Amino acid sequence: MQHHSPLQCLSSSACLPGFYPPASLLLFPSTLSHARTFTPYPSPLLLLLLAPAPLLLPLPLHSLYSPPPFSRFYPHSLPSFDCTVYPHLHFMRSPPLILCFYFHSLSVAFTPPSPPFSFCCLYFPLSLSGFCPPLSFPALTLSLEQREDDTSRYHWKPLQNGDPVRPRGFGSAVSRCQRRPRGVAARRPCVWRERADPVRADKWVGTRDGSKMPPPCVQVPVDHVLLGLPITLDDIVGEEDCLYLNVFTPKKKKPDEKLPVMVYIHGGAFFVGGAHEYLPHVLMNHDIVLVVIQYRLGTLGFMSTEDMVMPGNFGMKDQVMALRWVQENIHSFGGDADRVTIFGESAGGASVHLHVLSPMSKGLFARAILQSGSALAPWAVGEKFRQGAFLTSRVVRCPKCILTKDVTFCMQLTDGKEVASAVKNFTEWFIFPVRMVPRVDGDFLPDEPATLMRRGKYNRVDIMAGVTRDEGGMVTYPLFSGESMVRALEENFTHFGPVSLGFQDEEDPVALATRVYKHYLGDIVFDEQHSDQLTRAYSDVHFNLPHDLTSQIFARDPGTKIYRYELKHRSQLSFGDIYDMSLGKNWITHADDLYYLFRGGPLFAPDSPPDRPGDLQDEDDLRLRDIITAMWTNFAATGNPTPDDSLGFTWEAATESNFRHLALKPSPEMEDDQRQEIRRFLTSLPTRVNRLLRPDRIPQEEEDDPTTRATQDEL
């Protein structure tokens, strides 16, 4: 084939000899971030294409009836399509175009600009009916599963679109753009959509099959993360078509009764987790409607170029969309939209706190439960997203990108699992630093969480918040399960010391890390003899202090009630069992509270040790489980975890002058605050959160984020 310049291709039909241009394709100036819809003309040969082109130019199309020998170039790709290839058309570094016609349809394929390249087509019917625009998102759907051997007191209820909902067999809401077994051309619109904000699904007619558990969102496998195993592309699990939610209702309910709703947001450091790990278990012994949601994770959920091209926080906006769905549809399941409680653990707890802070989530819930997670934690809200986006583009072998729209464009054309696998390039020491997390974007999160908390710029809802006694065991177990993490701290403390405590982005990270480790250890030494002290350090820095600071602010607010707790009972099942180590046998570590609420996937049933029971069996464990589920559901129903004396004790709300918490054990009791001294030490450190919370005590660092400055001026 004779090569011609882009200008020659635009001005003549000489690029592909023997074919004649019957029509024109109009390229309008735009940016990819604004290309929200493709609007077809009545003619099947004319399309209004919004593309990243700087000029308005006519592009000759070649005859449908004499197509070029497309199969010679891609013999196995689109055998039923007639395609014209323009390999030399480049606009602002955009890739070549392949225009593919199939009966009354047109698809536009983009290919990477440098060979060897593969292509993918975007399939668009040239009629308004069934039209599926790109850069939107398959909206939240409902996925239901029925287990024949399940004896729990819940059942699955169907969903049909429209108002009112009339149950008819098992069903689920479906997205407007389903993956169909038609190869690349049919599924590419879904991939494009899943790199943008979520979009509401269209209504449907009839009943949708919801009998299968939804696939998790694309992620690295959780066991590889916890055990520090190497991660390859073949290890990546999940699907990009993953925005589903599960709904559980009790078996016996009065027809007109409206039940309180509990919406669970899973944890996993914002890059692992899924609904399949959180089956309702004994929660459904209580009269509630339970919703378990999924959201995009890791690079696919939180990568950002720190501008409007890729603003980030996609995973958080997925959660908002789920909460909106609940408000609009939960009545069909017997749920009360005015009594929605959101709860979550770890990153899920931090997510719950972020919804309390977000104006986007206002009015979508009435109560919130923060379990082992706070937006003030050093891992909950990140920085340096732009660098992360460009690093990811290099990892997935994108061409050298200068503009953020180039990075975004390449990401949208890259396989989701390959993009997700890039998260391993950000974790240097266990799961730290956690880079692909929520950010201050001026939209979902208008300012730093500490600033919003200090200024009282949050949604007034009642709160439950708490931790386990030995949260930091989550870090100490893997620290001593091998040699690499200890060796990294000992040989390169100036780098890994700050990373291990989440101080890597502070002004003087090494000095901060040194002060903290010396305070807990007496000297900087890392051995098993100091495992309890290390666990306490990681507990306080990553979990206890953020929770205490959060609770103190809520306790001072007369418009908010805050109930504090600390889990002080170790059950026969523990998160630490996955490591099967001799140390920490009495630790009540991160995620241990979940065994009282859920059962499910690998988090709850790891492969080792082999004699591990599948569920709680000890009498004290079962008693505490009944107490916890009763208090969680009481809070969802009334706003008070102990509204009467049926449990034999009263959980008092914390106040500024009475900052007490409930010790969760088989015989719960209120305890006085025991962390005053360590809080005085940790809040004296010149960290960013401390500067923002207490600008009068610690000099405020000068803001350099224009988005944040503008938002602060508005506030």
DSSP output for 533-602:
HHHHHHHIIIIIHHHHHHHHHHHH-TT--EEEEEE----S--GGGGG--STTTT--BTTGGGGGT-B-ST
Sheet holding 120-125, edge to edge: 82-86, 97-102, 105-110, 120-125
% pLDDT > 90, the chain? 51
Catalytic residue among 145, 448, 471, 506: 471
Question: C-alpha distances in angstroms, 287 versus 146, 410, 634?
Answer: 19, 48, 10
Alpha-carbon torsion, ordered 249, 254, 257, 260, to 10 deg: -30
User: Is residue 605 very low, low, confident or very high in pLDDT (cuts 50, 70, 90)?
Assistant: low
Q: What are phi and psi of 547, to 5 degrees?
A: -65, -45
622, 594, 621: which is closest to 606 by C-alpha?
A: 594
User: Is residue 166 very low, low, confident or very high in pLDDT (cuts 50, 70, 90)?
Assistant: very low
- Residue 50 sits at the vertex; the CA angle it makes with 44 and 56, to the nearest 5 degrees, is 95
Residue 289 confidence (pLDDT): 97
User: Is residue 252 very low, low, confident or very high in pLDDT (cuts 50, 70, 90)?
Assistant: confident
pLDDT score of 129 more than 90: no
Count CA within 13 A, CB hemisphere, residue 508.
8
- Cα 578 to chain centroid distance, Å, stands at 24
pLDDT, greater one: 57 or 624 = 624
Residue 699 confidence (pLDDT): 58
Which of 20-24, 395-399, 480-484 has the largest mean confidence?
A: 480-484
Active site residue 684: no
Where do the domains of the chain lie? 6-125, 212-637+649-690
Q: Which of 478-492, 533-547, 628-642 has the lowest mean pLDDT?
A: 478-492
Q: What are phi and psi of 319, to 5 degrees?
A: -65, -40
* CA-only gyration radius of the chain, Å: 27
Question: C-alpha distances in angstroms, 516 versus 509, 511, 536?
Answer: 11, 9, 11
pLDDT score of 711 more than 50: no
Average pLDDT, the chain: 74
pLDDT, greater one: 559 or 106 = 559
Q: Strand ranges (DSSP E) for 294-384?
A: 335-345, 367-371
Catalytic residue among 136, 346, 372, 481: 346
Structure confidence by residue, pLDDT tens digits, 198-222: 877 667 677 777 777 889 999 988 7
Long-range residue pairs from 490-498, CB within 8 A, at least 24 positions apart, any chain: 490/526, 493/524, 495/428, 496/428, 496/429, 497/524
Residue 119 confidence (pLDDT): 29
CATH domain 212-637+649-690 topology: Rossmann fold (3.40.50)
Q: Which of 112-126, 404-418, 568-582 has the lowest mean pLDDT?
A: 112-126
Residue 207 confidence (pLDDT): 79
pLDDT score of 687 more than 90: yes
User: Is residue 427 very low, low, confident or very high in pLDDT (cuts 50, 70, 90)?
Assistant: confident
Residue owning tokens 């949604």:
459
**DSSP state, 117?**
-
Stretch (H or E) spanning 119: none
Stretch (H or E) spanning 348: helix 347-357
272, 261, 142: which is closest to 213 by C-alpha?
A: 142
Structure confidence by residue, pLDDT tens digits, 474-503: 999 999 998 899 999 999 999 999 999 999
pLDDT score of 458 more than 90: yes
Active site residue 129: no
Distance CA 409, CA 458 (A): 35
Put simply, whether the predicted model's pTM sits higher than 0.85 gets the answer no
% pLDDT > 70, the chain? 67
Mean pLDDT of 117-142: 29
pLDDT, greater one: 32 or 568 = 568
